[in-house]
Structure 1
Amino acid sequence: MTAIPEAAVAVTGAASGIGRALAIELAARGADLALADRDEAGLREVAAEIATGSARTGSSRKVSLHRVDIGESEAVTAFAREAIAAHPALNILINNAGVSLLGLFHEIDQAQMEWLLNINFWGAVHATRGFLPHLASQPASHIVNVSSIFGIVAPPGQTAYAAAKFAVRGFSEALRHELQMAKSPVRLSVVHPGGIKTNIVRNSRTGSGIADNERRVQSIERFDVIAKTSAKDAALRIIKGIEKNEPRILIGGDARFMDILQRFRPATYWNVMAKRIEKMSKRGKSA
């Protein structure tokens, strides 16, 4: 088990959403932090909030900020090197950074699909490769790879995102088995959040084959209706999973429902989910 108060944690995608909530909650529990994101202003805001919290409690956290494009392998390798130099006792890596892309397969081009995969999948792989030798040298350490419920079910309009998140799941599970086989001190959890109240859909890119903005508006409206879990609650669930060394962390009642549904109806689950989402969307519009 990895004790959070004794930890130094690297978090990618730390300027907003789940990553931001993780940084704040981990700092409140006594962890030092290496925070990475492309959004430098967002990182500074998170660091300022952590400093304010530390001043209220009389504690002091070491926080290093790293501007990183997770889609660039060399930048991720440099981040690992710099984060370890800043925090020699670093023992937790949370691969959280992610982006989304709106469009059916024929509406997104190859460059857009590769852009998403470079961040959502290869970013986690490159960070894991960069940090793993150091993590393996610690008495107890942990890797957390954030997949998605769309790493368990695959809805229409999410070919790129589901491909990346299924890949994160497969990579994580295989690597966890390798670490167990080697009796490594490194533990690994893969996270499957359901609908989390963040800006990931609002910040999504639109497929090059989509001519109007109406689909984007509808997608945001639908997401706002079905996303029930706050980023803070998601962060708390992840931290609990780290402390309990849970190999698989499902977040939200929707994620738990879809996980069970997929097991019982592996080839036809989306027939059920499409009707459920349509009902929820209608209810949300009439509320």
Structure 2
Amino acid sequence: MSFDGKVAVITGAGSGIGRALAIELSRQGAHVALSDQDGAAVADTARHCERAGVRVRAETVDVTDWAAMQHFATAVDSEFGGVDAVFAVAGIIHRGSLLDSDISDFDRVMAVNWRGTVHTVKAFLPYVVTSTSGHIVTFSSAFGLIATPKYGAYNSSKFAVRGFTESLRQEMTLAGHPVSVTCVYPGGVRTSIVRNGLFAAGENPAAAARNFETRVARTEPEQAAVIILRGVERRRARVLVGSDARLVAVFAHVAGTFYQNLMPAADRLLGLRLRKGARRR
């Protein structure tokens, strides 16, 4: 399957994996409809895509706004005459224990990561099912394979995306629709997600971002985009991005529920690193 001449929708296209996917898809000849809450960022992505000579539409859209997503989907179908692939990339992260976190932060993470994914897929699915070879691509995380302390909001949202996607894949098969459904599980990818994240009281955002960017994030967004598109082309149910994501998947399979006994020690080690990082500032 080739993306040449296809119409692809990407949310969260202003930065990170979403931006890299938009540029790579346009390079492969796909026409792209891009959205992001940051209008300037998605406009810049659009300019890069236009250099490939494909048709590009860019809008400022909040994925948590159901009416806005419906309007975006209708406008895209009207302009492009159909939709072949949807990449629901938009997401945010939060770090902090439940006791120290504001409930509004939990609500926000679930709204963007889970409800935003549902809004995106629900709005565009009627158009994708009419494609001769449609694709729905959602984004969970390595944190959707195992849970960790202080990432309860993020874990919850990414486990929810995983369950939603697996159910949808079965629905498409049951209904006989020619739509493949893929869930992507990125490990550490060099994006600004942590730097732009939400943090509970007592957390050190700068140290957390520095630790992620220097110790965790090993995969470039452009590498991630190539891996994801290869998996989507092969109609895979699951795409693991990065050696760390593959390791987490094996660990979750082998350790079973016992992994929950090991993660607090790992978080204590991370906390020690963050405190050292804070002292070095």
How many Å separate the matches in 2 of 1:156 and 1:144?
27
1:161 matched to 2:154? The reply is yes
**Residue number in structure 1 paired with 2:54:** 61
Q: Secondary structure at the residue paired with 1:229?
A: coil
Any idea what the Cα deviations from partners look like across 1:117-160, whole Å, max 9, x if unmatched?
Answer: 11100111111111111111111100000111111111111111
How many Å separate the matches in 1 of 2:266 and 2:242?
16
Query: Deviation at 1:273?
Result: 5.5
Letter in 2 for 1:47: A
Paired positions, count: 273
Equivalent of 2:97 in 104, 107, 127:
104
Equivalent of 2:247 in 239, 257, 262:
257
**Residue number in structure 1 paired with 2:24:** 25
Listed as ranges, the matches of 1:71-82 within 5 Å are: 71-82=64-75
Any idea what the Cα deviations from partners look like across 1:236-260, whole Å, max 9, x if unmatched?
Answer: 1111011111110001111111111
How many Å separate the matches in 1 of 2:60 and 2:72?
8
How many Å separate the matches in 2 of 1:157 and 1:33?
36
Equivalent of 1:131 in 124, 129, 138:
124
Listed as ranges, the matches of 1:214-253 within 5 Å are: 215-224=204-213, 225-253=215-243
Equivalent of 2:76 in 83, 87, 91:
83
Determine if contact 2:84/2:131 at 8 Å carries over to the other structure. Answer: yes
1:193 matched to 2:186? The reply is yes
Determine if contact 1:71/1:115 at 8 Å carries over to the other structure. Answer: no
Query: Deviation at 1:102?
Result: 2.1
How many Å separate the matches in 2 of 1:266 and 1:71?
34
Is the alpha carbon distance of 1:21 and 1:77 closer, same or farther for their aligned partners in structure 2, counting shifts above 3 Å? Answer: same
How many Å separate the matches in 2 of 1:51 and 1:173?
34
Is the alpha carbon distance of 1:179 and 1:126 closer, same or farther for their aligned partners in structure 2, counting shifts above 3 Å? Answer: same
Listed as ranges, the matches of 1:134-213 within 5 Å are: 134-207=127-200, 210-211=201-202
Q: Secondary structure at the residue paired with 1:139?
A: coil
**Residue number in structure 2 paired with 1:57:** none
Is the alpha carbon distance of 1:197 and 1:271 closer, same or farther for their aligned partners in structure 2, counting shifts above 3 Å? Answer: farther
Q: Secondary structure at the residue paired with 1:238?
A: helix
Letter in 2 for 1:42: A
**Residue number in structure 2 paired with 1:95:** 88
Determine if contact 2:149/2:263 at 8 Å carries over to the other structure. Answer: no
How many Å separate the matches in 2 of 1:186 and 1:62?
23
Letter in 2 for 1:175: L
Is the alpha carbon distance of 1:276 and 1:102 closer, same or farther for their aligned partners in structure 2, counting shifts above 3 Å? Answer: closer
Determine if contact 1:72/1:118 at 8 Å carries over to the other structure. Answer: no
TM-score using structure 2 length: 0.91
Percent identical: 33
How many Å separate the matches in 1 of 2:95 and 2:143?
14
How many Å separate the matches in 2 of 1:26 and 1:17?
14
How many Å separate the matches in 2 of 1:22 and 1:270?
34
Q: Secondary structure at the residue paired with 1:268?
A: helix
Letter in 2 for 1:183: G
Letter in 2 for 1:231: P
Q: Which runs of 5+ in 1 are unaligned?
A: 55-59
Q: Secondary structure at the residue paired with 1:144?
A: strand
How many Å separate the matches in 2 of 1:234 and 1:17?
10
Query: Deviation at 1:98?
Result: 0.2
Letter in 1 for 2:11: T
Letter in 2 for 1:133: P
TM-score using structure 1 length: 0.90
Letter in 1 for 2:9: A
Query: Deviation at 1:3?
Result: 2.3
Q: Which runs of 5+ in 2 are unaligned?
A: none
